[in-house]
Structure 1
Amino acid sequence: MAKRSISKGVIKDIIIVGVGVLIIWIGLQVAFGTQNPFYVVASGSMIPVLQVYDVLVVQGHEPFEDIEIGDIIVFNRPSDHNRVIVHRVASIIDDDPKTIRTKGDANPASIPGTDFPITEEEYIGKVAYTIPQVGYVTQLLKPPINYVIIAVVIGIMVVKQMVKKKNEKELTFTDPINSENPDIIEDLSDIDKIEKDSEYSEHGETSEHGETSEDIEKKLEGIEKSVEENNTDEKKKE
């Protein structure tokens, strides 16, 4: 039962984290108007403006028609669309439909099939922000390091659930007096009744149970003896 409870707790935590990440990611996509708002610079074609491992925040809401010479844009390579390029707009080749030519700041010239012709079909977005060198994190998250990180996170969740269960068990306990010494509780209850009866005898009256003071004293002695015997038995057991 404990293992099942721990498993359920871990699964619940993973689902919460997963849903949270998904919500944040969808929110970023909506905010920046592109399926992937972040790109990592992988080459030195835009040095010194952009360095390798810089993270680019791309604004997809910027219309292609508003792109001007000098803007740094992200686009799919026009020759095969199998690679994402980030270069600066060098010129407007045509206005209808709008077609542009780009060039890497560190490159001597534009590369056909890579830098041009760029149309709205290849356009992804305009570079809005640059976060220097944060892309090194993506290198750390490559296999097998990413699997180690996932294992550590899951391990922390398991430990968290185990500690939680242990604390709950420590809070749940049985009263040793009630469970192990029921006779003593009954005797103490009788003593309470007898003490009430003795109040009558002290004033020379008969108790509500019809007992005299001598009867009450004998009964008290018997109960006290019983309690002492029970205590002795408990000490022997220990």
Structure 2
Amino acid sequence: MNILKKIYNSKLFRALLEVAFSFTLAFLLLASLRVILGVESPLFVVSSGSMMPTLNIGDIIVVQKVMPAQLGIGDIVVFRNPYVPYGSPIVHRIVNIRVDEEGNYKISTVGDAIGRGIDQFSPWDASLLIGRVILRIPYIGNLYLFISTEDRSITIITFIIILLILFLFFGGEGKKETQKKALGYTRLLYIFAINSLLICLVIFSLWGLGAYGFGMFGEYQLNAERYGAENVFLVMGFMTYRIDCQVYGRIRQGALTFSWFQFLLLVLILFNVTEVLVPIVRYRLNRESSNKNE
């Protein structure tokens, strides 16, 4: 029993347990998405610019299974390449749907970067359809693209191992040490650093850094330069936004996009409430209580 207790309390075992828990949680989340959305692979990473500026390289798109009869002109869909069925899927926008004499759906698509006509895959049979894009999450897919090559994979794995070693040696200094670090100038520096980081991320989520992402306003500006500011409409929702454009006399809906700006702003507010406001209020209440007791 003592041996088992020592193993359980060891830093290495705790670290491995946390890693295993993280992988299990990720697996359960992915399995749940597969069941809910009805597709084998509900998440795809955009790796080409054929749908820019609606979908950018490095975006993650969430795909839901739909029947061909549920599709409409303007929907963004993911489908298998008719010429290379087991290759990388294609993400394009529907421009035409027709039903042949046998009742088979034939779908024509094109990338937003091209805008007119049809792509080289069209018309393609609806049996190649994987699903419809229901959500876009900017930036996150860049990590996958970064580590997709062998050399970068080795770099990332090495970095993770170094972090794990640092955690094992410096992650368990005890409660007293943690309390000491939470006091004085160290705590002020910590609060300042986190606030600075969050503010920088908020600004990045709005304007981006060009090759590393365009940001919400950056995407709006790209569309405005292409179609004219009077034809571009930014539609805000809760934790989401969408950029619609009037193209050739008709409204073309953009992809519903997760709003990093709203999310990071909420994190910034919650952080300052819990780390700044609550301690100040608690300190004043304790001080008033002490004065009354005296």
TM-score range, shorter chain: 0.5 to 0.7
Could you tell me which of 84, 87, 90 is aligned with 1:85?
90
Residue 146 of structure 1 corresponds to: 156
Runs of 4+ in 1 over 6 A off after TM superposition: 1-4
Could you tell me which of 42, 49, 58 is aligned with 1:37?
42
Partner Cα separation in structure 1 for residue 108 and residue 42 of structure 2 = 23
For residue 127 of structure 1, what is the amino acid of its counterpart?
Answer: V
Could you tell me which of 142, 150, 155 is aligned with 1:136?
142
Could you tell me which of 86, 94, 106 is aligned with 2:113?
106
Deviation, structure 1 residue 76:
0.8
Residue 75 of structure 2 corresponds to: 71
Partner Cα separation in structure 2 for residue 132 and residue 9 of structure 1 = 33
For residue 154 of structure 2, what is the amino acid of its counterpart?
Answer: P
Report the 3-state secondary structure (helix = DSSP H, G, I; strand = E; otherwise coil) of the residue aligned with 2:125.
coil
The aligned length equals: 162
Q: Classify 1:88/1:145 alpha carbon distance in 2 versus 1 (closer, same or farther; 3 Å).
A: same
CA deviations 1:151-175 (Å, max 9, x no partner) are: 14543564478768xxxxxxxxxxx
Residue 185 of structure 2 corresponds to: none
Residue 202 of structure 1 corresponds to: none
Deviation, structure 1 residue 115:
3.4
Bigger Rg, structure 1 or 2: 1
Deviation, structure 1 residue 106:
2.1
Q: Classify 1:153/1:34 alpha carbon distance in 2 versus 1 (closer, same or farther; 3 Å).
A: farther
**Percent identity between the aligned chains?**
26
Q: Return the structure number with greater relative CO, CA threshold 8 A, min gap 6.
A: 1
Report the 3-state secondary structure (helix = DSSP H, G, I; strand = E; otherwise coil) of the residue aligned with 1:144.
helix
* Contiguous gaps of at least 5 residues in structure 2: 175-294
Deviation, structure 1 residue 89:
0.8
For residue 46 of structure 1, what is the amino acid of its counterpart?
Answer: M
Residue 252 of structure 2 corresponds to: none
| Contact kept in structure 2, 1:13 and 1:157, CA below 8 Å | no
* Contiguous gaps of at least 5 residues in structure 1: 165-238
Q: TM-score of the superposition, structure 1-length normalised?
A: 0.57
Partner Cα separation in structure 1 for residue 170 and residue 31 of structure 2 = 29
